[in-house]
Chains A and B, each alone.
Chain A
Amino acid sequence: KQEVTQIPAALSVPEGENLVLNCSFTDSAIYNLQWFRQDPGKGLTSLLLIQSSQREQTSGRLNASLDKSSGRSTLYIAASQPGDSATYLCAVRTGNQFYFGTGTSLTVIP
């Protein structure tokens, strides 16, 4: 069974700092990997989707990479802002199932 791990569980950084969030998965036979953010009491907002054949995706200050063979993905956030404070979740699709990590709670301090 696919297992998805996110490290660290929580992260606190000063505004303006660049940061990296990590996601690892045990089964490399994935269709895609998606990064989400979740604000308290709200649903998930899609940030980036990487297909299994791709190495990275970029959107604004966000860049996500995928190394399927090693079972790893990173989400890079440049020039962090207080509005980036949220929980960041990664999810992989294996077969018909989606597996989520438990998330990284990010706090950006003004």
Chain B
Amino acid sequence: EAGVAQSPRYKIIEKRQSVAFWCNPISGHATLYWYQQILGQGPKLLIQFQNNGVVDDSQLPKDRFSAERLKGVDSTLKIQPAKLEDSAVYLCASSLEATSNEQFFGPGTRLTVL
């Protein structure tokens, strides 16, 4: 069974530029999550999708971050414009359902904002 795929693995941009990350969850997983992990901290949930609907985006900085999952499979997370403090690893995870199921994580995208 293929795992959660993410691309790119690394991205370096200058502040005020835009960037987008892509995630393909495990086949059949209805729930998809985007996390931000700043160095030395645990992951912070940014947004959770159930199929193509948003379940929770309470911690997503909506003035600059956006995410979509149009067909209920792949998802993209965008930052526009980026700030220095956005430097982090962006992790995508998926699970069969939302409440009780195990989450499986992708390898992450390491973003550096200069």
- The interface of chain A, by Cβ under 8 A from chain B, is 4, 31-32, 34, 36, 41-46, 49, 51, 89, 91, 93, 95-103
With contacts defined as CB atoms under 8 Å apart, how many contacts are there between chain A and chain B in the complex? Answer: 56
In the A-B complex, the 10 residue pairs with the closest CB atoms: A100-B42, A96-B56, A43-B105, A44-B105, A49-B102, A43-B107, A43-B108, A98-B45, A102-B42, A100-B43
In the bound complex, do residue A103 and residue B42 qualify as a contact, i.e. CB atoms below 8 Å apart?
yes
Q: How far is the CA of A42 from the CA of B93 in the complex (A)?
A: 13
Smallest CB–CB gap between A92 and chain B, Å? 11
Contacts of B41 in A (CB 8 A): 102
List which B61-114 residues lie within 8 A (CB) of chain A. 91, 93, 98-108, 110
A43 touches B100 (CB 8 A): no
Determine whether the beta carbon of A96 is less than 8 Å from that of B48. Answer: yes
Q: Whole-angstrom distance from the CB of B11 to the nearest CB of chain A?
A: 14
In the complex, per-residue mask of B27-66: 1 if CB is within 8 Å of any chain A CB, else 0 = 0000001000000111111001000000110110000000
- Chain A, interface SS category: strand
A102–B4 Cα distance when bound, in Å, is 23
Give 21 A-B contacts (CB < 8 Å), ordered by A residue: A31-B100, A32-B100, A42-B108, A43-B4, A43-B106, A43-B107, A46-B102, A46-B104, A46-B105, A49-B102, A51-B100, A91-B42, A95-B56, A96-B55, A97-B58, A99-B42, A100-B42, A100-B43, A101-B42, A102-B41, A102-B42
CB < 8 Å neighbour of B42 from A4, A32, A41, A42 = A4
- Which B residue sits closest to A41, measured CB to CB? B110
Known: A96-B48, A96-B98, A97-B56. A34 touches B43 (CB 8 A): no
Q: What's the nearest-Cβ distance from chain A to residue B112, in Å?
A: 13
Q: How far is the CB of A16 from chain B (nearest CB, A)?
A: 29
